[in-house]
Amino acid sequence: MKAVEIAKNIYFVGANIRNGDLFEGMWPIPDGVSLNSYIVKGEKTALIDLVRDWDNAPKSLTEQLTSLGISIEQIDYLILNHLEPDHTGWLEEFLKRNPKVTILTTQLGKKMVKSFYKNEENVTVVKDGDTLDLGNNMILTFYSTPNVHWPETMVTFNESSGVLFSCDAFGSYGCVDTPFDDLLDKPTHEFFDRESLRYYANIVASFSPFVEKAIEKLSGLTIKMIAPSHGIIWRKNPQTIIERYLKFASYMNGPAEPEITIIWGSMYGNTEAVLSPLIEGINSERIPVHIHQVPNEDVSYPLTSAYRSAGLVFAMPTYEYRMFPPVAAAIDMFGRKHLKNKKVLRIGSYGWSGGAQKEFDTMTADLDWECIEPVEWAGATDEETNEKVYEQGKKLAQLVKQFCVQS
Ligand code: FEO
């Protein structure tokens, strides 16, 4: 990553993480992730958001600062929009090198500086609408955006350039080489479109009502550029990602897109064998289908697909009187991420006794899912079962259509 001037006296700096680690210790990032920080220069210098000591990120950050003629010791203000350690993990070392820096964060952020880094020195609490004047007409304004996605989160805005430093909000997985949306080729742009949804579904979705509140709160600002702390900078039309976030947030309580996601797992192929008639039944209503096998795929991907789909199918056998565990684990994650208000079908085989359906019903009781009649069969499928699965797939697709048209 190279330092890039994104507006007069405002610079993009940071690090690309490519070492194959999981994000938050659990989400796959095969194409890495960027930790974006920003330098804002007036007579004084501010650094917005930090990095974690992860895959040489501090070295990358300091090298870019050096390329701008700035040393860590010369930074006057460190603005912490969000305390999650991907943006603050290097704070202890940073403070050793620059003990006089003033940290600006929210009241809850101050508490987290203490709890994570045992530091109470030189922390200034900022509230909604507070400003920091760096000199040379460079003024930063702070707005709290609680629960996007931690309770202490805020954003920082520079009115003269129209740059909004949004930290996690409007972010994406994926390393960044060319930071601006308008300089990306089509495949790269499509990659960030996909990965911004996966990032949202994995990290932010549970807090969608707060995303809506934050966007409403910031709606009076003239935002010309959105500079998040992961992923690309949206400068061509920042409204694109704002509108996309509003759409993402709306998926939480449904209806989402008129699509169906199939999450399936099969021990010996007896559940897998009915996927063809199932898909044919759905396709007969011209509803797009997304298919995810677990545990072969990490839950991050079916979660993303399920989050944007109005309809879900869970295809799994009974395993020891309960659900096939990999599908149960996916459903558990969907519950944790508050995937509500879906139209749902469950199908699956069993050996000598059922039981999966009972556990499925219990596990999903609080999710506001409308479940149509399941299909279960002993052992291998037959023509009659295939026909039933076809009909239920078709029925689900019809329900999804009605749901999305009515709402
Ligand atoms: Fe990128 Fe919530 O940290």
52 pocket-lining for ligand 1 (C-beta < 6 Å): no
168 pocket-lining for ligand 1 (C-beta < 6 Å): yes
Crossing angle of the two packed helices 325-336 and 356-363, in degrees rounded to 10: 10
Tokens 């697709």 found at: 397
Task: Give the residue whose CA is nearest to atom 1 of ligand 1.
Answer: 168
Task: Give the residue whose CA is nearest to atom 3 of ligand 1.
Answer: 84
Cα–ligand 1 centroid distance for 54 (angstroms): 14
Give the predicted TM-score (pTM) of the model. 0.96
Residue pair 248/194 in contact (Cβ under 8 Å)? The answer is: no
Calpha distance 292→275 (Å, rounded): 11
pLDDT at residue 407, rounded to an integer: 66
- Could you tell me how many residues make up the chain? 407
DSSP line for 249-301: HHHTTS--EEEEEEEE--SSSTTGGGHHHHHHHHHTTT--EEEEETTTS-THH
Sign of CA dihedral 349, 352, 354, 359: negative
Please give the number of the atom of ligand 1 that sits closest to the Cα of 171.
1
Partners of 378 in the β-ladder:
350
Could you give the 3-state DSSP secondary structure of residue 375?
strand
Tokens 């040393």 found at: 71
Please give the number of the atom of ligand 1 that sits closest to the Cα of 203.
2
Partners of 33 in the β-ladder:
17, 174
Catalogue the E-assigned strands of 110-213: 123-125, 131-133, 139-144, 154-158, 163-167
55 pocket-lining for ligand 1 (C-beta < 6 Å): no
- Over 12-49, what HEC string results? EEEEEECCCCCECCCECCCCCEEEEEEEEECCCEEEEC
Cα–ligand 1 centroid distance for 164 (angstroms): 16
Question: Per residue in 155-168, pLDDT tens?
Answer: 999 999 999 999 99
pLDDT at residue 254, rounded to an integer: 83
Q: Among 260, 275, 276, 269, which Cα is nearest to 317's? A: 269
230 pocket-lining for ligand 1 (C-beta < 6 Å): yes
Please give the number of the atom of ligand 1 that sits closest to the Cα of 149.
2
Question: Per residue in 201-218, pLDDT tens?
Answer: 999 999 999 999 999 999
152 pocket-lining for ligand 1 (C-beta < 6 Å): no
Cα–ligand 1 centroid distance for 74 (angstroms): 26
Between strands 33-41 and 45-48, the pairing is antiparallel
Task: Give the residue whose CA is nearest to atom 2 of ligand 1.
Answer: 84
Pick out the chain residues at pLDDT < 70.
407
pLDDT at residue 149, rounded to an integer: 93
H-helix or E-strand spanning residue 94: helix 91-97
Domains and CATH numbers, the chain: 4-250 (3.60.15.10), 257-406 (3.40.50.360)
Could you give the 3-state DSSP secondary structure of residue 322?
strand
